[in-house]
């Protein structure tokens, strides 16, 4: 789905030709939408059966809240099943490969810098314990890890052009006239590597974020990996937690090395979502002395 969204579509430039679907983009999209629809129907049916049986009533999950809102919606603020599924689609398409790609970039950058890996492992050992598992409650106690995550999001923002913007009225930005209805993309990748803003901008240096001057709130236009304003990423809180928890777990549980004779290539592949051009291949070696900790049921 992300790949199809990234394809330059002839129909977008010549709307009169959209009916012909020369590149087959619409056809392929419709096939994917049907597959997603079946997936959502299965999830919703399963959730509704559990609700009818009184399972999970003590703590509601996100889907339960959406279904309740749909059932209780009024004429002024209706929530239809189609809109509910569209919201689930946004979450899944927007929150899966963007996170996994960011984790891949993080592991690659960390492996290139052994001193960063050592500092992370020392911080995790202090906060989590050498023979304990990483919990979400530990995340707020790991400032160096947070600095590493921020630096990864600076160098390799998951959405390098952010979400497209469309002005409702003609406006002037930085001396340039932006006509009403224009499709505007913000090159946050270039902003994050601007040498007039960042010292040694292409260098991976997490220490630049230890002073907490920059956050991901979108209020600082020198650093806004999740966008800003009303078009800011809706899943920022979930993304930060998933990103930090995943990297913390990988670093704490394993030592990492490249296969014999391999070298790391950090070349990026541009699209709506930023990817590594060459996938990372790394060999893990267990660090924890208690093997039972690796058998935890997630």
- pLDDT for 56 equals 62
Please give the full DSSP string across the chain, using - where no structure is assigned: -HHHHHS--HHHH-GGGGGG-TT-HHHHHHHHHHHHHHHHHHHHHHHHHHHHTTTT-SS--HHHHHHHHHHH--SSS---HHHHHHHHHHHHHHHSHHHHHHHHHHHHHHHH-HHHHHHHHHHHHHHT-TTS---GGGGGG-HHHHHHHHHHHHHS-SSTT-S-B--SS-EEETTEEE-TT--B---HHHHTT-TTTSSSTTS--GGGGTT----SSS--TT--TT--GGGS-TTHHHHHHHHHHHHHHHHHHEEEEPPTT------EE-SSS-EESS----EEEE--S-GGGGG---
Residue span(s) of the chain under CATH 1.10.630.10 come to: 95-151+202-294
> Does residue 261 register a pLDDT over 60?
yes
pTM of the predicted model, to two decimals? 0.84
Q: Which residues are annotated as a binding site for heme?
A: 233
- pLDDT for 127 equals 97
- pLDDT for 230 equals 82
Mean pLDDT of 4-13: 84
- Select from 3.30.70.2740, 1.10.630.10, 3.40.1440.10, 3.40.50.720 the CATH code of 95-151+202-294: 1.10.630.10
Q: Which residues are annotated as a binding site?
A: 233
Reported as a pLDDT band with limits 50, 70 and 90, residue 60 is confident
Reported as a pLDDT band with limits 50, 70 and 90, residue 59 is low
């Amino acid at each position: 789905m992300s790949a199809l969204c990234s394809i330059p579509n002839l129909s977008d430039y010549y709307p009169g030709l959209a009916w012909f679907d020369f590149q087959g983009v619409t056809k392929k999209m419709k096939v994917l939408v049907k597959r997603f629809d079946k997936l959502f129907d299965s999830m919703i049916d399963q959730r509704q059966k559990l609700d009818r049986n009184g399972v999970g009533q003590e703590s509601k999950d996100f889907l339960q809240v959406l279904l309740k809102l749909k059932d209780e919606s009024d004429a002024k603020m209706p929530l239809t099943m189609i809109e509910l599924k569209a919201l689930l689609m946004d979450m899944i398409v927007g929150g899966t490969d963007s996170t996994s790609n960011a984790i891949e970039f993080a592991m690659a950058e960390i492996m290139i810098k052994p001193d960063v890996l050592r500092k992370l492992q020392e911080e995790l050992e202090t906060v989590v314990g050498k023979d304990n598992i990483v919990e979400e409650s530990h995340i707020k106690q790991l400032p160096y890890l947070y600095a590493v995550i921020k630096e990864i999001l600076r160098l390799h923002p998951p959405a390098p052009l952010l979400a497209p913007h469309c002005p409702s009225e003609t406006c002037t930005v930085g001396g340039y006239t932006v006509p009403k209805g224009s499709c505007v993309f913000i090159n946050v990748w270039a902003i994050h590597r601007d040498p007039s803003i960042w010292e040694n901008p292409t260098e991976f240096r997490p220490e630049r974020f230890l002073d907490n001057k920059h956050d991901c709130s979108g209020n600082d236009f020198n650093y806004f990996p999740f966008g800003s304003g009303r078009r800011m990423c809706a899943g920022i809180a979930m993304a930060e937690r998933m990103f930090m928890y995943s990297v913390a777990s990988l670093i704490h549980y394993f030592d990492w090395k490249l296969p014999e004779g391999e070298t790391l290539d950090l070349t990026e592949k541009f699209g709506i979502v930023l990817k590594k051009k060459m996938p990372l291949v790394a060999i893990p070696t267990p660090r924890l002395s208690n093997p039972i900790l690796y058998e935890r049921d997630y």
